[in-house]
Amino acid sequence: MTAQIIVNNLHKYFGKLEVLKGISLEIQRGQVVCVIGPSGSGKSTFLRCINRLEEPTHGDITVDDILITDPKVDLNKVRRNIGMVFQQFNLFPHLTAKQNIMLAPLELKLKPKREIEQKALELLERVGLSEKADVRPRQLSGGQQQRVAIARALAMEPDIMLFDEPTSALDPEMVGEVLAVMKELASIGMTMVVVTHEMGFARDVADRVLFMDGGIIMEEAPPAEMFSNPKNPRTIEFLNKVL
């Protein structure tokens, strides 16, 4: 069986600055991959290339057998299948939690409105926020906003979820509630790529952990091995600082 996400020799320049210096990687269906590494190592850029929020400079990315780096690809269609959760939540502030979740399925006319609304309410229940359906993002805590953002991404029924430091903007006591939702997703077999500083989450939930530094994957291992027996000196130095 071919991998669900195949990244081949991915390079990304911002102007003259080379941020990704040749990333190659395969992710199987249902795998949870955590990407760790210092700031500026290219983790987020790598993640954002997977749904082409960043335009790769060269290299290929294949998702579900579709070459998404093909200039002719229907990006909007590809992206429906790849949910994304942002560090800053990016909820739509002028809409309620429920409207946030319903917006894209409604605009894209994926289903009748009643079904979309039903689904939105189910998702809110799933992330534990049923009572917040008609509340605007401003009145929600960071953790609640991020859970709504996850529900919003799930409303498109994606096969893959990308998480870009989903807990980095949260107060410490709210990290747990977001990670719990992510764990639940992992347990039902969602393919997930998670850029994170939460080493505990990576250890408990990830199938593989990637350590990135300077635009390349320095080390890749199952979490047990990565955290107890890292090989690369840079990995050792980094883990010593954060653990």
Residues at the site binding other proteins, with contacts judged by CB under 8 A: 51, 53, 76-77, 79-80, 82-84, 86, 88, 90-94, 103-104, 107-108, 136, 138, 149, 152-153, 156
Strands 160-164 and 82-85: parallel
Judged by beta carbon, residue 137 or residue 223, the one nearer other proteins is: 137
For the record, the structure tokens of 157 come out as 């029924």
Least CB distance from residue 80 to other proteins, whole Å?
4
Determine how many CB atoms are found less than 10 A away from the CB of residue 95. Answer: 15
Tokens of 190: 């969602």
Comparing CB distances to other proteins, the nearer of 89 and 227 is 89
Residue indicated by tokens 């390349």: 216
Comparing CB distances to other proteins, the nearer of 13 and 92 is 92
Nearest to other proteins of 48, 208 (CB atom) = 48
> Measured in whole angstroms, how far is the alpha carbon of residue 135 from the centre of its chain?
25
Least Å distance between CB 36 and other proteins?
22
Residue 214 CB, nearest approach to other proteins (Å): 25
Compare residues 90 and 232 and give the one whose CB is closer to other proteins.
Answer: 90
DSSP state of 192: E
The least distance separating other proteins from the CB of residue 50, rounded to whole angstroms, comes to 11
Comparison of 107 and 173: residue with beta carbon closer to other proteins: 107
Minimum Å distance from CB 206 to other proteins? 22
Alpha-carbon distance of 114 to 120, in angstroms, equals 10
C-alpha–C-alpha distance, residues 174 and 236, integer Å: 29
| Least CB distance to other proteins at residue 57 (A) | 19
- Pairing type for strands 32-36 and 17-27 reads unpaired
Q: Half-sphere exposure (CA, 13 Å, Cβ side) for 120?
A: 25
Distance (Å, whole) CA 65 – CA 61: 10
